[in-house]
Amino acid sequence: MNRDYVPLSLQRRVRDRARNRCEYCGISQAFQEATFHVDHVHPRSEEGPTEYENLALACVSCSLRKGARTHALDPATGARVATYNPRHDRWNEHFAVGEDMRIVGRTPSGRATVELLSMNRTLAVAIRVEEARCGRFP
Amino acid sequence: MAANATVRIDMELPTDLARLRLPEGVDRRLQALLDKQDRGEPLNVDEAAEAEGLVELSELLTLLRLRAQGSGSSAAE
Ligand SMILES: [Zn+2]
């Protein structure tokens, strides 16, 4: 029990590093109702360690949908590719934000991640539009 | 028919909407489900549906609050 417990001090460092933003979709914790989750990037089920370099801050939606997944299908080609890894990859290389606040995948990995995490659900886009209006997104 | 019944709630907008918050216990339950999944224990069908519902509820409340604030009230806390 608790072998995977992420100590609060470590969680705090992860939140600080992420500047309190979801490391996948980029939304800020500030005005979100649910508390963002500190996730293992490389999953526990595959022996991903509970250490700073394997943790990422995720909004509840991205956290739930990512789960233990590290690969997904690129909707453009149908190829199975590695999903975006916030510890190794640069966000701007893999994603862009459209005028309409939809997130666009710029690479196979980016496209697969947008799809896997359902980043462009109606509610998520509507929240981004409000956040953009207040200058908090992107 | 009960299934088709609608509940009407009169609220003053936007100030009342800005007061609709996600209860702490609900947030804690969602965290527990995400913790479980992150520990490498897949959620069962019921838990996955519950988590999905809680995510949607929290996002809906977020959106309502953001819109209530955006529509000119002096807002929040
Ligand atoms: Zn997210």
Q: How many CA atoms lie within 13 A of A49 on its CB side?
A: 5
pLDDT given for residue B74 in this prediction: 43
Kind plus residue range of the DSSP H or E element containing A116:
helix A108-116
User: What tokens appear for A33 in the block?
Assistant: 């109702």
pLDDT given for residue B27 in this prediction: 96
**Mean pLDDT estimate for chain A:** 95
How far apart CA A136 and CA A114 sit, in angstroms, is 20
Span A93-112, mean pLDDT? Answer: 98
Q: Look at residue B73 and tell me whether its pLDDT is greater than 60.
A: no
Residue of chain A nearest B49, judged by CA positions: A64
User: What tokens appear for A19 in the block?
Assistant: 């500047």
Share of chain B residues as helix, strand and coil, in percent rounded to the nearest 5: 60, 0, 40
Kind plus residue range of the DSSP H or E element containing A39:
strand A37-40
Provide the 10 A C-beta neighbour count for residue A105: 20
Q: Supply the ipTM of this predicted assembly.
A: 0.92
Quick check: B61 contacting A, CB < 8 Å? Answer: yes
Span A97-116, mean pLDDT? Answer: 98
Nearest C-alpha of chain A: how many angstroms from B1?
Answer: 30
A75 prior amide bond cis, ω within 30: no
Lowest mean pLDDT among A26-35, A107-116, A125-134, B66-75: B66-75
Nearest C-alpha of chain A: how many angstroms from B30?
Answer: 8
User: What tokens appear for A49 in the block?
Assistant: 């360690």
Span A17-35, mean pLDDT? Answer: 97
Span A86-115, mean pLDDT? Answer: 98
Residue A121 confidence class, pLDDT cut points 50, 70, 90: very high
Give the model confidence (pLDDT) of B4-56 as tens digits: 677 776 666 656 776 788 999 999 999 999 999 999 999 999 999 999 999 99
How far apart CA A82 and CA A93 sit, in angstroms, is 14
pLDDT given for residue A57 in this prediction: 98
How far apart CA B58 and CA B41 sit, in angstroms, is 23
